[in-house]
Amino acid sequence: MTNLSPIDAELQQGIALWEAGQYLAAQEEFELLWRTEVGRRRNFLRALIHAAMGFHYITVGDTVSAYSKLGSAGSLLDGFAGDFLGLDIEGLRRGIATARTLLSATEKAKARELQHIRIPRLTMLSSEVPLREAQ
């Protein structure tokens, strides 16, 4: 990735973990940044933390926790520009909303029945190389 601001560069490790399907590890990376950040960036990182945990809960079949965390993430993303910190926030919002809709329809589903929920990419808009979509 080129032409990234320092905060974007700091996000790369968490993004790489997200893209590798390691949502719990991504949450931990975002939380490390969140601890030292202030203002809007801190609030934004909190949204990423909640989203990563929500998607982690999907991977382990905890639909109730996933639905709750993704709801929090969606609310925390309200008011942020669609390209905040160089990320595709609109795509993330859509992915969260879609996942919550599917979770509400499969609230009592077993983990194997959650495979149809696609976890959105966490894409850097300034990147030339698209990151893969985790499932």
Query: Quick check: 123 pLDDT over 50?
Result: yes
pLDDT tens per residue across span 51-84: 999 999 998 888 899 999 999 999 999 999 988 8
Give dist(CA 24, CA 83) in Å, integer. Answer: 24
Give dist(CA 127, CA 73) in Å, integer. Answer: 24
The pair of structure tokens assigned to 103 is 């979770």
* Contact status, residue 48 vs residue 69, Cβ threshold 8 Å: no
Residue written as token pair 């905040």: 84
For the chain, the domains span 6-114
Pick the CATH number of 6-114 from 3.40.718.10, 3.30.160.40, 1.10.3450.10, 1.20.58.220: 1.10.3450.10
The pair of structure tokens assigned to 83 is 């390209």
pLDDT tens per residue across span 12-56: 899 999 999 999 999 999 999 999 999 999 999 999 999 999 999
